[in-house]
Chains A and B, each alone.
With several copies, the nearest count.
Chain A
Amino acid sequence: MRQENLIQVQHDDFDISALYHFLQADNVEDGAVATFLGAVRAKNLGDNVTGLTLEHYPGMTEKSLNDIVVQARERWDINRVVIVHRVGALQLGDNIVFVGVTSPHRGNAFDACEFMMDFLKTRAPFWKKESTSEGDRWIEARDSDAQKASQW
């Protein structure tokens, strides 16, 4: 009853209130809820960018997110976990990903949330492609993400 996951890969935007409801409803064990929300930002996008497309590896995506949650549960005392990641066509400002975690301990909630984001960034099979007025181009992975993930 206490340990529950909500892991979804979807085209549609997510309802943040509903995600908090999943984390908090009938949960009096956990005083701490840490979340991260990632969105399409201007700096991600080069000049003349008209949008972004998120490709993924269906099947492996869900499996890799599940694996990340399993690893987080081995390291921290956490109870409810949400990971929602969008795929398909996105615009500037659109939400991309939401990670939320509850724990009796504030530090555990923060650490597990950041760990899951860092691992998602380097292990989950999603790829971003920019659409520009001169054509499409794939976004390059950043060394800083690999470094962040290796520190856990």
Chain B
Amino acid sequence: MSCFGDKSLIKVLFFAHLKERLGCDSLMLKAAPATVAEVRQQILEMHPNWRDDFESLAKLSAVNQTICDDNQLVETGDEVAFFPPVTGG
């Protein structure tokens, strides 16, 4: 069920209910160095119909597999992930 946006340089991953609702587990973004907030915006510009699911389920983000907030800088080559609050343990 993977779906790709612009063939480009930032890899974006989705997990759990967010992944299921979007029907998408990953995409590639063409983006200059930006913040996580700007990455969110760019994704929603490409997929305006994802807004509700994104707002309710993309509560957490990670850049290069480390949890971060929306101010975190993202550079080309980075892996950005969005997911709901975790429920392991």
Q: Does B48 contact A (CB under 8 A)?
A: no
For B30-70 the 0/1 string (1 means CB < 8 A from A) is: 00000000000000000000000000000000100111000
Contacts A57-B13, A59-B65, A127-B16; A38 near B89 (Cβ below 8 A): yes
Judging by beta carbons under 8 Å apart, are B89 and A125 in contact?
A: no
Instruction: Please tell me which stretch of A13-21, A22-30, A72-80, A116-124 contacts chain B, meaning at least 4 of its Cβ atoms lie within 8 angstroms of it.
Output: A116-124
Judging by beta carbons under 8 Å apart, are B65 and A60 in contact?
A: yes
Shortest Cβ distance from A45 into chain B, in angstroms? 13
Name the residue of chain B whose CB is nearest to the CB of A141: B85
Please give, as numbers and ranges, the residues of chain A lying within 8 Å of B67 by CB-CB distance. 64, 123
Q: How many residues of A contact B (CB 8 A)?
A: 29
Judging by beta carbons under 8 Å apart, are A117 and B89 in contact?
A: yes
Please give, as numbers and ranges, the residues of chain B lying within 8 Å of A123 by CB-CB distance. 67, 86
Contacts A55-B16, A138-B16; A126 near B89 (Cβ below 8 A): yes
Q: How many residues of B contact A (CB 8 A)?
A: 16
Shortest Cβ distance from B7 into chain A, in angstroms? 22
Contact of A121 among B16, B65, B89 (CB under 8 A): B89
Q: Does B87 contact A (CB under 8 A)?
A: yes
Please give, as numbers and ranges, the residues of chain B lying within 8 Å of A117 by CB-CB distance. 89
Q: Does B81 contact A (CB under 8 A)?
A: yes
Judging by beta carbons under 8 Å apart, are B17 and A121 in contact?
A: no
Please give, as numbers and ranges, the residues of chain B lying within 8 Å of A60 by CB-CB distance. 62, 65-66, 81
Name the residue of chain B whose CB is nearest to the CB of A65: B88
Can you list 26 A-B pairs with a CB-CB distance of less than 8 A? A57-B62, A57-B65, A57-B81, A60-B81, A64-B66, A85-B88, A96-B88, A97-B88, A121-B88, A121-B89, A122-B85, A122-B86, A123-B67, A123-B86, A127-B16, A127-B17, A127-B83, A127-B88, A128-B88, A129-B16, A138-B16, A138-B17, A138-B84, A138-B87, A140-B87, A141-B84
B interface residues, Cβ below 8 angstroms from A: 13, 15-17, 62, 65-67, 81, 83-89
